[in-house]
Amino acid sequence: MSDSYDVIIIGSGPAGYVCAIKCAQLGLNTAVVEVSSDAKGAPVFGGTCLNVGCIPSKALLDSSHKFTEARDHFSVHGIGVGSPSIDIAAMMKRKDKIVSQLTGGVSSLLQHNGVTVVQGRGRLLAGRKVEVTDSDGSKSVISADNVVLASGSEPVTIPPAPTDDQVIVDSTGALLFDAVPERLGVIGAGVIGLELGSVWGRLGSNVVMFEALDTFLPTMDTQVSKEAAKVFKKQGLDIRLNALVTGTRVENNAVTVTYTEKGEEKSAEFDRLIVAVGRRPRTRDVFSGDSGVTVDERGFVFVNDACATEAPGVWAVGDIVRGPMLAHKGSEEGVMVAERIHGKAVQLNYDCVPSIIYTHPEIAAVGKTEQELKAEGVDYKAGSFPFAAIGRALASGETEGFVKIIADAKTDRIIGAHAIGPSAADLVQQLVITMEFGGSAEDLQLMVFGHPTMSEAVHEAALAVDGIAIHMPNRKRR
């Protein structure tokens, strides 16, 4: 191992490893420092996303969805499977196999691209030096022309519900249950609460969710969050708004939760409790006080639009910096930084970062919501189209939800898209592409969409923006 590089990256999550691969592709001598290691002391790549986030949660979401399909939906197709059972150990084994396949894949990619891997805890010192502490405590120092901080995030904890990794767990623990809890409490009705609550709810848990706010999914377009609340209620998720957990008591492998709901004091008992109240940037011990790196008022590493910190030659990407905590946002920041280090002034378009909740139906969004545009005083036009009127959706029995498109009233340029329903994530990605190209509602209106596809909902929603949808009565005419 050399002690001097063009670029050193601290952290190999989706932000760090993608940045490392891109730097190496651009011919930069690159090293990545990763603190996580397996039983043999080898680094574990992929960060939260691959190990305890996006991938394992989606594996369990898919397994549990198939279970509900077999239990609740096969019979209408004339398929009889009796009463299906779930083997949790087999489901977890499948999830673990997918995780190790992907983390192993990242390891091979780093190797293939000639990235030097350094196992240990990295800490940025002044002058773009990085101190690495390995598992036996010994320290070494390496340096680089550029250092990229990509140490990610960790779950927020709250004093009334300290996690014990047994009965009260965070998202990582909720991916490891060895049996379906009969009574499952979830604190926080956000993305993690909804996804992991859905997994265990589908498999038979009675799920109660405690949400401190009085609005459900407040950052989503209101039309979408209203539809989502209806759908989840129908699925049996008991979402209690304005519910603040004040204490927990663990006894006999169960937990009593005390909480106030709309001001009234209440209590409830659960077999397991998931705390999913947000994540915070992992900045402790990642840089020294004299490194020149600063944090903003919310504890995120302070960066400009190009992810440069206040210390020359030091960059930061992913969950450790402002913006949504999403794997794809971090990865594209990693690419942008690699390009900038190599001398090309690439700029990530933060207005076109999609976000998705992988419940069933999926919920996806990009750009502005109607309530944001109203607050900003922007003149807009919006159109939505229900899946209930889409032939393909009917054929597959997936008729809940709609696609909604919002365009600027003067320019017709698309500025937001929101969907709840089948393949919502992939449909909204079509709008991401349209928005990146500065496309208008009329552009989509004049395009040919395959029939019968879910994408026809995008076409019809674009037509509905101007009140000219074909397959539903329109409220207004051009």
Q: Which among ligand FAD, ligand NAD, none contacts residue 150 (Cβ within 5 to 8 A by kind)?
A: ligand FAD
Chain positions 138 to 167 lying near ligand NAD, rule: CB under 6 A, are 158
Q: Does 189 bind ligand NAD (CB under 6 A)?
A: yes
Is the distance from CB of 21 to CB of 150 less than 8 angstroms? no
Residue partners of 218: CB distance under 8 A and separation at least 6: 225
Annotated catalytic residue, options 418, 451, 459, 471: 451
Integer Cα distance of 425 and 192 in angstroms: 17
In the complex with ligand FAD, the residue whose CB is nearer, 19 or 462, is: 19
Closest CA to 273 of 180, 163, 168: 168
Q: How far apart are CA 39 and CA 122, in angstroms?
A: 20
DSSP 446: T
Residue 14 binds ligand FAD, judged by CB under 6 A:
yes
- Rounded Cα distance between 430 and 444, Å, is 10
Interface segment toward ligand NAD; rule CB under 6 A; list 129-137, 198-206, 276-284, 432-440: 276-284
Q: Is 402 exposed, middle or buried (0-12, 13-18, 19+ CB in 10 A)?
A: buried
Q: What is the DSSP letter of 287?
A: B
The answer to whether 16 contacts ligand FAD (rule: CB under 6 A) is: yes
190 binds ligand NAD (CB under 6 A): yes
Taking residues 110 to 129 in sequence order and writing x for each that binds ligand FAD by CB under 6 A, - otherwise, the string is -----------xx-------
C-beta closer to ligand FAD: residue 315 or 385: 315
* Residues 427, 419 contacting (CB under 8 angstroms): yes
CA dihedral 40, 41, 47, 53 (to 10 degrees): 30
- Cα–Cα distance for residue pair 209/237, rounded to 1 Å: 7
CB of 355 vs ligand NAD, minimal distance in Å: 6
Residue 49 binding target from ligand NAD, ligand FAD, none, CB below 5 to 8 Å by type? ligand FAD
- Rounded-to-integer distance, Cα 398 and Cα 420, Å: 11
Q: Which stretch binds ligand NAD (CB under 6 A): 7-15, 205-213, 290-298, 457-465?
A: 205-213
Residue 398 binding ligand FAD, by CB under 6 A: no
Query: Considering CB under 6 A, how many residues would be counted as binding ligand NAD?
Result: 26
The answer to whether 330 contacts ligand FAD (rule: CB under 6 A) is yes
| Beta-bridge partner residues of 365 | 355, 418
From the list 48-56, 71-79, 204-212, 233-241, the region that binds ligand FAD by CB under 6 A is 48-56
> CA-CA distance, 183 to 91, in Å (whole number)?
20
Are 291 and 314 within 8 A, CB to CB? yes
- Respond yes or no: is residue 73 known to be catalytic: no
Name the residue nearer to ligand FAD (CB basis): 333 or 398: 333
The DSSP string of 146-202 is EEEE---EEE---TTS---SSSEE-HHHHT--SS--SEEEEE--SHHHHHHHHHHHH
- Does 192 interact with ligand NAD (rule: CB under 6 A)? yes
**Tokens, residue 241:** 């708004």
Using the contact rule CB under 6 A, the part of the chain among 96-104, 182-190, 283-291, 338-346 near ligand NAD is: 182-190
Strand, coil or helix: 139: strand
Footprint (CB under 6 A) of ligand NAD, residues 227-246? 244-245
Does position 43 bind ligand FAD by CB under 6 A?
Answer: no
Residue 311 sits in the site that holds ligand NAD (CB under 6 A): no
Nearer to ligand FAD, 28 or 356 (CB): 356
Residue 415 contact among ligand FAD, ligand NAD, none, beta carbon within 5 to 8 Å by kind: none
Residue 383 binds which entry of ligand FAD, ligand NAD, none, with Cβ cut-offs from 5 to 8 Å by kind? none
Question: Interface with ligand NAD by CB under 6 A: which residues?
Answer: 158, 187-193, 195, 210-213, 244-245, 276-279, 324-326, 355-358
Question: Interface with ligand FAD by CB under 6 A: which residues?
Answer: 10-16, 33-36, 47-49, 53-54, 57, 121-122, 150-153, 171, 192, 282, 286, 318-319, 325-328, 330, 358
Enumerate the active-site residues: 451
